[in-house]
Amino acid sequence: MREPAEIEIRTPDDFHVHLRQGPALSGYAREAARRFGRVLVMPNTLPPIATPGELASYRAEIRSAAPELTALMTFKIQPGMDRATVRSLRDAGALAGKYYPLGVTTNSEDGISDTDSVMDAVAAIEAEGLVLCIHGEEPGAEILDRERAFLPRLAHLARSFPRLRIVLEHVSSAAGVEAVLALPERVAGTVTVHHLLYTMDDLIGGRLDPHLFCKPVVKTRADRSALQRAVLDGNRKLFFGSDSAPHPRSAKESAQGEAGVYAMPVSLPLLAGFFAERGALDRIEDFVSRFGAEFYGLPPNGGSLRLRRARWTVPEEIDGVVPLAAGREMAWRALDR
């Protein structure tokens, strides 16, 4: 069947974005607001979002930059964080707490080395009906094996807290997909465009592409296929979270390049191409506008967004950042909402 040249979908959500802080924030927030109704904002700022005051002022900063964007707030779980703090973060409007293992990604030097040190916080997250978002990589494991090596901890957390809703963020491996699908309904995963479309061949198979370097790293073709199959299947446990993580060009094109892909400007066009090429464009709406909201217990967004088959070239740089697929021609465009 020939795919249509344009579709209209319910306004989408992005359940994993980094909006950063300070002067750079407003460009990133406005870029998000052009297409997304709601974004789940990651808390790995410096200092992290870990108190009600920090959460409220971060939300206010985002709101003043992009009033039409709904920022869904998260906090960073700190080792030893107590139940009262989690409750106060819930009262301040947090939807989720984010679990960052020690040292596995950008600004995780204050991360968790011992799961026991966050059991109180996780118990409170469960009791308060919040979601536990996990960066699922095991510190010290080999780079390509870090996600798989973390999965026993994921299963353990799911077993220990029988009502806890958990999201394994940016699922990147076949083992990760399999684990999410095998665990109960209350365990889901976000999927990024880069893990869905790229592999290590794109990252290091030719010349090094620092702008595709992220944690977890893009993996093998078999891993990518497992992600693609599960997403095309329309499994409601996998929904969109771009992990759009901008770093200034100089921080990426460096001997100590930062991890993070600026996917926001191209995520919907790339996704539309992915689904359309497989004759499955009718599945994109569930993936970007429905499954995530349902998992988080949010009402569907009002309004809609149009995706149109139209050629355009991704800018080489946006707000000082090299976006994913910079300089490439896209076959689909997301019209501003």
- How far apart are alpha carbons 75 and 71 in whole angstroms? 13
Query: Considering the rule CB under 6 A, would residue 173 count as an interface residue with ligand NCD?
Result: no
**Neighbouring C-beta atoms of residue 217, cutoff 10 Å:** 20
**Chain centroid offset of residue 56 CA:** 21
State the nearest-atom distance from the C-beta of 322 to ligand NCD, in Å. Answer: 14
Q: Judged by CB under 6 A, which of 35, 59, 215, 290 binds ligand NCD?
A: 215
Q: Residue 241 or 290: which CB sits closer to ligand NCD?
A: 241
Helices (H), ranges, 128-283: 146-160, 174-182, 193-197, 200, 221-232, 249-252, 267-277
Q: Judged by CB under 6 A, which of 74, 78, 85, 106 binds ligand NCD?
A: 106
252 in Cβ contact with 324 (< 8 Å): no
Restricting to residues 5-24, name those near ligand NCD by CB under 6 A: 18
Handedness of CA 115, 118, 119, 123 (dihedral sign): negative
With CB under 5 to 8 Å by kind, the binding choice for 126 among ligand NCD, Zn ion, none is none
With CB under 5 to 8 Å by kind, the binding choice for 292 among Zn ion, ligand NCD, none is none
Residue 225-254 contact track with Zn ion, rule CB under 5 A, x = bound: ------------------x-----------
Restricting to residues 233-262, name those near ligand NCD by CB under 6 A: 243, 245, 259-260
Tokens of 247: 């770093």
223, 243, 286, 336: which one is catalytic?
A: 243
120 is catalytic: no
Report phi then psi at 78, rounded to 5.
-100, 140
| Pairing assessment for the beta strands 94-99 and 131-134 based on DSSP bridges | parallel
Query: Considering the rule CB under 6 A, would residue 214 count as an interface residue with ligand NCD?
Result: yes
Tokens of 5: 């040249």
Q: Residue 46 or 60: which CB sits closer to ligand NCD?
A: 46
- How far apart are alpha carbons 138 and 101 in whole angstroms? 7
Which residue's beta carbon is nearest to the bound ligand NCD?
260
Positions touching Zn ion (CB under 5 A) are 243
Which spans of this chain sit near ligand NCD (rule: CB under 6 A)? Answer: 18, 44, 105-106, 135, 214-215, 243, 245, 259-260
